[in-house]
Amino acid sequence: SSGINAEYGGEGSSREHAALEPRHLGGKAIIVRSFARIHETNLKKQGMLPLTFADPADYDKVQPGDKISILGLTNFAPGVPLTCKLTHTDGSTEEFPLNHTYNENQRGRN
């Protein structure tokens, strides 16, 4: 399960709860245009995969009801983008890159 947010993830005074809630709901990844640094760190600590759109305009490709797949996890490595595959309700698909900030030490934790 993935969550998509238009602008900025993790603002405000409830950053820890903002990281706990998606995990509690069975989430695995959060995709946003940008993160507050502390929120991104908190998501990692909760075992979530914080991702950003490589091109923020790709957010507009996401449609209600899309199935979201994250490709490239088998070869997950620092500095190597992942791929988001959207399967729209009409069966058509689109792919675009997603960035992450994991380093080698963090990569082994999740």
pLDDT at 36: 80
Give the rounded percent of residues in the chain with a pLDDT score beyond 90: 52
State the pTM of this model: 0.81
Name which of 47, 42, 36, 39 is nearest 108 in CA terms: 47
Q: How confident is the model over 31-41, as pLDDT tens digits?
A: 999 888 788 88
Contact partners, residue 47, CB within 8 Å, separation at least 6:
23, 109, 110
* pLDDT of 46 above 80: yes
Identify the band that residue 51 occupies on the pLDDT scale cut at 50, 70 and 90. very high
Looking at residues 6-25, what average pLDDT do you find? 60
pLDDT at site 104: 81
Determine whether 42 is exposed, middle or buried from the number of CB atoms within 10 Å of its CB (0-12, 13-18, 19+): buried
DSSP state at residue 36 = -
